Amino acid sequence: MDNVEAKADAMLRSPLGCGFLLAAEASGLPPEEIASQLIGLYLSAYASGDVGVWQPDYQRIRVEILRQGQRHRDLAISILEQPAAADWFGPLDPTKQVVVLRNQQAPSLTSFVAPNSPLSNWERYAEKSKNGIYTSTLVNGVASIFVGLDLPIGDIGIGHEPPYKCWLLKAEQSVRVFEIDGAQAWHELCVRYPAVGSSTHNTPDFSMDEGRIVPDWGAVANDWDAVHLSLGGLLTADQVRVQSESGWTYHWSWDIEQTLWLRWVFSGVEPLPDNEPQASPLEGLFHPLFVSRAGIY
């Protein structure tokens, strides 16, 4: 998506995008600060927690956050017009990828396991691969995985104990990366490499409708080295249903900006200093769970 207004409208269709705007408004920060790498990642992380699909009364919260978010279109445009926000939807920088592994062992070609087909039942439910490597982009010492561990968000912190061992992975600029910059891109990925969504788990939109499709990661790996969900993609794709003749998609389980590497294409692995939990730069500006301030509960 290239048009600022189109990006703003896409944010307003996503509960997470609306949650981001509500948290941004509550912070009182100017658009140029909101668009910065550090503040943008923390606000998106708070919003991710606000719209988590497994929290009590999720459906009512989702409806209310979407309703309240609609009044912040002008704020969305003013944020997206900032120069720093141009990187939100930008292509992946494959030379600045940081990984934190639960086993705290350095990643390597010998330990790498590529995604394969057919998908496991969990993969068809969670829309993620149990194999491959997940990384986040490191910019000025800040990465979404660090923010996700700090708060923590979703199940990111499960199995991790600080200090967190982390590594910088470097790949060539020529790597083949499928960019998820919105709900339509996610739908396209699923349509091009379809697998049937799990029918033994309640679907994340709680509709129980048949016809949900998810990516067949083994098939994706035949054509691509990685799949990148940008920050802008997260804010515009999360929990947005897209329907076509091929089926319907609903991106929901990637809580942060991240890249799934389907192949080992790294030319360098560099250990970084252990990462220690940090206090949020937004601490004290507003309650971390914005819905508690919004009259939703």
Q: Has residue 156 got a pLDDT over 70?
A: yes
Among the listed residues 264, 127, 137, the one whose alpha carbon sits nearest the alpha carbon of residue 203: 127
Instruction: Please check whether residues 145 and 252 belong to one and the same domain.
Output: yes
Q: Looking at the chain, how many residues does it have?
A: 297
pLDDT at residue 254 is higher than 50 = yes
Instruction: Answer yes or no: are the C-beta atoms of 244 and 81 closer than 8 Å.
Output: no
Give the residue-averaged pLDDT of 132-139: 96
Q: Domain range spanning residue 13?
A: 4-89+285-292
Greater confidence, 154 or 82? 82
Residue at 15 is within a domain: yes
Q: Say what the pLDDT of residue 204 is.
A: 62
User: In terms of domains, do 48 and 64 share one?
Assistant: yes
111 and 85 inside one domain = no
- Of 47-56, 89-98, 152-161, the one with minimum mean pLDDT is 152-161
Chain segment 59-97, per-residue pLDDT in tens: 888 999 999 999 999 999 999 999 999 999 989 999 999
Q: Which long-range contacts (CB under 8 A, 24 or more apart) does 195-201 make?
A: 195/117, 195/118, 195/119, 195/123, 195/124, 195/219, 196/124, 197/124, 197/125, 197/127, 198/121, 198/122, 198/124, 198/125, 200/121, 200/125, 201/121, 201/125
Question: What pLDDT score was predicted for residue 290?
Answer: 53
**Whether residue 101 is found in the same domain as residue 55:** no
Whether residue 291 has pLDDT greater than 60? no
SS3 113: coil
For the chain, give the mean pLDDT.
90
Say whether pLDDT at 264 is over 50: yes
Please give the order of strands across the beta sheet that includes 133-137: 177-180, 226-229, 258-261, 133-137, 97-100, 164-171, 266-275
Rg (CA), the chain: 18
Q: How many CB atoms lie within 10 A of CB 71?
A: 13
pLDDT at 293 exceeding the cut of 80:
no
Domain co-membership, 106 together with 245: yes
What band does 292 get if pLDDT is binned at 50, 70 and 90? very low
Look at residue 297 and tell me if it is in a domain.
no
What are φ and ψ of residue 125, in 5° steps? -85, -50
Query: What is the amino acid identity at position 288?
Result: P
> 119 and 76: one domain?
no
Of 9-18, 49-58, 101-110, 225-234, give the lowest mean pLDDT range: 49-58
> Number of structural domains, the chain?
2
- Give the residue from 61, 35, 47 showing the smallest Cα distance to 287: 47
- 163 lies in the same domain as 227: yes
E strand or H helix at 133, and its extent?
strand 133-137
The answer to whether residues 147 and 66 belong to one domain is no
- pLDDT tens for residues 187-237? 999 999 999 987 666 556 666 788 899 999 999 999 999 999 999 999 999
Are 108 and 228 within one domain? Answer: yes
Q: How is residue 114 written in tokens? A: 């590529």
Distance of alpha carbon 133 from alpha carbon 125, whole angstroms = 19
Q: Are residues 190 and 229 in the same domain?
A: yes
Report, as an integer, the average pLDDT of 8-33. 96
Tokens of 42: 């923390």
| Residue 123: inside a domain | yes
